[in-house]
Amino acid sequence: MQASRPASKLKFKNDLPKSTVFGDSAILIYDGIFDRQVLTKKWIQTFERKYSVRSGEKLKNIDTFPKHIKSILKLAQGLPTQEITLVVLGGGSVGDFAGFVASILKRGVRLVQIPSTWLAAVDSAHGGKTGLNVSKIKNQIGTFYPADEIYLIKSILKTQPEARVVEAFGEIIKISLLEGQGLWREGQKLKSISSDYYWKLLPQMIEAKYRIVQRDPQERLGIRHLLNLGHTVGHVWESQLKIPHGLAVLLGVAFAVEWSFARGLMNSKIYYEIRLSGMGSYLPDRFELKKLLRKIKQPQKFLLQDKKISTNRKIRYVFVKSPGRPVIESVSVQELIAEMARQAQ
Ligand SMILES: NC(=O)c1ccc[n+]([C@@H]2O[C@H](COP(=O)([O-])OP(=O)(O)OC[C@H]3O[C@@H](n4cnc5c(N)ncnc54)[C@H](O)[C@@H]3O)[C@@H](O)[C@H]2O)c1
Ligand SMILES: [Zn+2]
């Protein structure tokens, strides 16, 4: 199996392709909100086999998975295994869930992702990570199963409500800080977070993610771990405050920038350049971080359960020296908790 896909598998289109392009054995798995949208309602009806889901973390819950897989298996009945194509329309939760389904259904079937949120278009649809949550802890089980094709559809992405646009910004600033160079420089020009801006930079942002993934497709060398920038503390907020993933990551990136500066890894010139830059000015400030850190209860309990924490209670935390120069350092859970307490003061 190919572990990461070259850019040629990406298809940038204005509108959804006809369902017939996916063959006679296509099964559509989609976010049920699209049954209510004019743009997608008729398109969905053109699929003979389809399965509607409710997006969100509950969809990724292992407890309800058997019910879903039994229904999807029924849809697949009688189809030649080699010809089955799962077509997935939805945001990151639907993509993580359906990607996992594709990887285990009949031991693996063709997968086409049509990410419908900016977060999924920029990040989660690429790189092949699928995931389910166990006992409310995110992505405890999953597979590496890159999509065979990924469609980026302008009409779907550009009609998203403002909330979705803002939610994606966490992953966007994350990848821009990791990449540095042109992507970060483009970010200096950011005047307001908008769909137009995302669409324009989408190819560059996706390429930046692939550049990291291709060096370490299955996260064995520690390089791919860089993509966890902002996620360690982000996941604590996501789980405890029940805020969307992208917003939690945005907070997590701001926390990482603050810690990188306090630890002396980032100098004050770079720190203020980031904070005052077009993109960086959208990072939550110290006051906001303080307020939200005070809402976190028993971080130790959560951090020790999180999959990124090894048994010796050390975490590989992603710091930033400057845009384009991330660095991973091993820190103890106690150090992280002390830093959370420091920033909460
Ligand atoms: N696999 C990976 O590499 C990876 C990377 C980052 C995030 N993720 C996962 O992605 C998930 C978050 O992604 P998300 O925010 O896209 O999740 P989501 O699927 O829950 O979508 C968020 C909301 O947007 C709605 N929505 C979807 N498309 C829309 C559209 N076109 N117009 C209007 N509303 C729309 C959904 O119904 C939902 O209410 C998390 O579970 C996270 O763990 C995975
Ligand atoms: Zn993420």
CATH of the domain at 143: 3.40.50.1970
Q: Do residues 285 and 259 both lie within one domain?
A: yes
> Do 176 and 143 sit in the same domain of this protein?
no
The pLDDT mean for the chain works out to 93
Query: How far apart are the C-alpha atoms of 281 and 68, rounded to whole Å?
Result: 42
Least confident range of 134-148, 201-215, 309-323: 309-323
**pLDDT, position 311:** 45
For ligand 1, atom 19: residue with the closest CA: 91
Residue 33 and residue 149 in one domain: yes
Ligand 1: residues within 6 Å at CB? 31, 33, 55-57, 60, 90-94, 96, 116-117, 119-120, 123-124, 127, 129, 131, 138, 156, 160-161, 164, 167, 244-246
Work out the pLDDT band at 309, boundaries 50, 70, 90: low
Kindly give, in sequence order, each residue whose CB lies less than 8 Å from that of residue 92, ignoring residues fewer than 6 positions away.
115, 117, 119, 120, 123, 124, 125, 245
Distance 278 CA to ligand 2 centre (A): 22
Would you say residue 66 has pLDDT above 60? Answer: yes
In a domain, 249, yes or no: yes
Position of tokens 């006992």? 135
We report the CATH number of the domain holding residue 309 as 1.20.1090.10
Domain presence at residue 272 = yes
- Identify whether residues 64 and 21 lie together within a single domain: yes
Residue 210 covered by a domain:
no
Does residue 100 lie in a domain region?
Answer: yes
**Count: domains in the chain:** 2
Domain annotation covers residue 17 = yes
Residues 92 and 177 in one domain: no
| CA of residue 76 to ligand 2 center, whole Å | 31
Q: Is there a domain that residue 113 lies in?
A: yes
Query: Nearest CA to 50 among 22, 16, 8, 14?
Result: 22
Question: Ligand 1 test: best mutation among 245, 249, 253, 307, most atoms within 8 Å of CB?
Answer: 245
Ligand nearest to the CA of 209: 1
- Chain centroid offset of residue 228 CA: 10
Tell me the sheet residues that pair with 318: 328
Residues whose CB falls within 8 Å of the CB of residue 256, separated by 6 or more in sequence, listed in order: 229, 230, 233, 317, 318, 319, 320
Identify whether residues 19 and 60 lie together within a single domain. Answer: yes
Bridge partners of residue 112, in order along the sequence: 87, 149
229 plus 336 within the same structural domain: yes
**What domain range includes position 84?**
7-158
List, for residues 10-60, the tens digit of each pLDDT value.
999 999 999 999 999 999 999 999 999 998 999 999 999 999 999 999 999
- Asked whether residue 205 is domain-assigned, the answer is no
Cα 132 vs. chain centroid, distance in angstroms? 13
Q: Do 277 and 170 fall into the same domain? A: yes
